[in-house]
Amino acid sequence: MDEMREKVVLNEYNIDHAHSTDYPGNYTGHDDTWSFKKFKKNFKIIVRNLDDEMMEFDMIGVDAAIANAFRRILLAEVPTMAIEKVYVYNNTSIVQDEVMAHRLGLIPIKADPRMFEYRQDGDDEGSPEDTIEFDLKIKCTRTKNAKETSNPEEGYINSSVYTKHMKWNPLGNQAELFPDGISAVNSDILIAKLRPGHEIDVKMHCVKGVARDHAKFSPVATAFYRLMPDITIMRPVFDEEAVRLAKCFSPGVIEVIEEQGRKKAVVKDPRNDSSSREVFRHDDLKDSVKIAKIRNHFIYTIESTGILTPDLLMVEAIKVLQSKCKQFISEINQAAESNME
């Protein structure tokens, strides 16, 4: 009973207990009614790794629906700033205007979206409160007295256009609000290749948006989760079998130790398991282990594009979910009041 409630079991040809069953009354003798007190006791967040670009943490004590809600919000509903309008004054490069605009739009902009408002529909000019402006003016020329070379970086000036060539034009009091300036997340993103005589002169407007409208607004390179693996050795496995059993799993999952002069397989770190089920290909080993996943233990990974740090992105995702819940409760109350009338 406990296994059915708490674990998803991976068999050779099928998966058991994959469906969610923690709703009230499903199991005799188990009180699965939701309460804040019980949730607070069981819920845990354990941060395993954190830097400016990536965070890995464990989320324990929630249903898959909640974990998936955060994933979807991170991918599509946490706002960022991205290039929306591109005004092309001159473009004699081999990159067409619309392709150039598309490439520019996908460049992640290092600007805190919390400092800006959404631009109103029909407003093409924008304001300091909702718009960031960049200029890109660059022309390729030949290097004076350059020797014959096949390397364009030596023979030409500005043969490659990078995001470092984009110049920020502060609007209103933006220079005071952002003393460190606003730029692309990375300065070495290639925009175009030029040759002598080619020139690019464009102005760009960045606006606030979400990725459900366009992928360029996504604040993450990816956000995903997996269930915590649970590996149980069902019988003692020694010597040559122990070595083969360890090779059936990802490195670090099964360790071979010395015990009374014999090699013995023990579980070291199930977290590293990739759930390949390779062990089921060996008839003499398939009954030696049980592979499962803990139903309410999620290993979460967030990879930021660099606009905001991944821990801030998770905080913003929580705020978005809170807003959705408040709106849903408000609509329920309104519907109840209208029915009473």
User: What is the percentage of the chain residues whose pLDDT exceeds 70?
Assistant: 97
Mean pLDDT of 24-41: 79
Q: Would you call 243 helix, strand, or coil by DSSP?
A: helix
Looking at the DSSP bridge assignments, the partners of residue 83 are 206
Task: Name the residue with higher pLDDT: 298 or 4.
Answer: 298
Question: Residue 22's CB: how many other CB atoms inside 10 A?
Answer: 14
pLDDT at residue 21, as a whole number: 65
Confidence of residue 161 (pLDDT cuts 50, 70, 90): very high
Distance, CA of 288 to chain centre = 37
Contact between 134 and 166 under an 8 Å Cβ cutoff? The reply is: yes
**The tokens of 40 are what?**
């607070």
Mean pLDDT of 249-265: 93
Q: Is the pLDDT of residue 1 over 80?
A: no
For residues 245 and 241, what is the distance between their CA atoms, to the nearest angstrom?
A: 6
pLDDT at residue 127, as a whole number: 93
Task: Name the residue with higher pLDDT: 174 or 151.
Answer: 174
For residues 139 and 156, what is the distance between their CA atoms, to the nearest angstrom?
A: 10
Cβ contacts of 74 within 8 Å, gap of 6 or more: 219, 220, 223, 302, 313, 314, 317
Q: Is the pLDDT of residue 25 over 70?
A: no
pLDDT at residue 73, as a whole number: 97
Q: Are strands 156-157 and 80-91 parallel, antiparallel or unpaired?
A: unpaired
* pLDDT tens digits along 202-238: 999 999 999 999 999 999 999 999 999 999 999 999 9
Cβ contacts of 311 within 8 Å, gap of 6 or more: 47, 50, 55
Cβ contacts of 7 within 8 Å, gap of 6 or more: 17, 230, 292, 293, 294, 295
Q: Are strands 167-169 and 54-60 parallel, antiparallel or unpaired?
A: unpaired
* pLDDT tens digits along 124-158: 888 999 999 999 999 999 988 777 777 888 889 99
pLDDT at residue 28, as a whole number: 72
For residues 264 and 255, what is the distance between their CA atoms, to the nearest angstrom?
A: 8
pLDDT at residue 147, as a whole number: 74
pLDDT at residue 3, as a whole number: 74
Q: Would you call 185 helix, strand, or coil by DSSP?
A: coil
User: Which value, in Å, is the radius of gyration of the alpha carbons in the chain?
Assistant: 28
Mean pLDDT of 100-124: 93
pLDDT at residue 55, as a whole number: 97
Q: Would you call 275 helix, strand, or coil by DSSP?
A: coil
pLDDT at residue 125, as a whole number: 84
pLDDT at residue 278, as a whole number: 93
Q: Is the pLDDT of residue 100 over 80?
A: yes
Average pLDDT, the chain: 92
Mean pLDDT of 52-78: 94
pLDDT at residue 36, as a whole number: 87
pLDDT at residue 22, as a whole number: 64
Q: Is the pLDDT of residue 51 over 80?
A: yes
**The tokens of 61 are what?**
């004590």
Mean pLDDT of 304-319: 96
For residues 211 and 77, what is the distance between their CA atoms, to the nearest angstrom?
A: 6
Tell me how far CA of residue 312 lies from CA of 304, 317, 318, 321, 324, in angstroms. Answer: 10, 9, 10, 14, 19
